[in-house]
């Protein structure tokens, strides 16, 4: 889809500059919101340097909680360990686990980073537990078996992260 309800176009003509992102906050009464979420089509850590500057602005200006919804390969995307840079700026990180089995995960996700994507996502999640108060790994309801959900829960317990089954949305 190109639209969700009346919210307007989902695709951008170009990536907005930091100042343009900050200017968008003037259009909203931030008192009405509990949290600012970095997500959307694509991977938000693709523009990590802008994301982290915006998170800092949100914290300083509005004192709001922040969350990143991610595929968990931000370190590969950025060619460095980005997790320590999130300390104090990101309150929750929600990582798409999708499947507890490496081969099935890789077949589903088809990451440009190939076979190492699953292991990197797990490593990223573990590292996040050192710096971010709420680390959540997610799957989507009805896309895996109850046995696989139990495996996901066990994996999350080992990592020290919460497990959340997101509802399937048509």
What residue segments make up the domains of the chain, in order of their start?
33-166
**pLDDT value of position 168:** 82
Q: Where are the alpha helices (DSSP H) in 12-78?
A: 18-24, 48-62, 74-78
Write out pLDDT tens, residues 62-120. 999 999 999 999 999 999 999 999 999 999 999 999 999 999 999 998 988 888 999 99
Rounded to two decimals, the pTM is 0.90
pLDDT above 60 for 46: yes
Q: What tokens were used for 57?
A: 């602005």
| Average of per-residue pLDDT across 138-167 | 95
SS3 state at 31: helix
Share of the chain above pLDDT 70, in %: 94
Share of the chain above pLDDT 90, in %: 78
pLDDT above 60 for 164: yes
- Whether the Cβ atoms of residue 54 and residue 22 lie closer than 8 Å to each other: yes
- Please state which of the four CATH numbers 3.30.470.10, 3.50.50.60, 3.30.390.30, 3.80.30.10 is assigned to the domain occupying 33-166: 3.80.30.10
């Amino acid at each position: 889809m190109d639209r969700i309800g009346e919210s307007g176009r989902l695709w951008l003509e170009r990536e907005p500059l930091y100042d343009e992102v900050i200017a968008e906050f003037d259009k909203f009464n931030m008192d009405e919101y509990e949290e600012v979420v970095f997500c959307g089509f694509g991977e938000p850590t693709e523009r990590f340097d802008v994301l982290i500057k915006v998170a800092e602005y949100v914290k300083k200006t509005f004192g709001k909680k922040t969350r990143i919804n991610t595929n968990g390969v931000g370190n590969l995307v950025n060619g460095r360990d980005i997790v320590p840079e999130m300390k104090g700026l990101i309150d929750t990180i929600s990582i798409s686990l999708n499947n507890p089995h490496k081969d099935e995960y890789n077949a589903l996700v088809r990451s440009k980073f190939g076979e190492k994507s699953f292991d990197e996502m797990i490593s990223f999640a573990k590292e996040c537990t050192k710096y971010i108060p709420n680390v959540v790994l997610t799957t989507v309801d009805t896309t895996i078996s109850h046995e696989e959900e139990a495996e996901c829960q066990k994996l999350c317990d080992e990592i020290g992260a919460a497990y959340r089954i997101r509802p399937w949305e048509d």
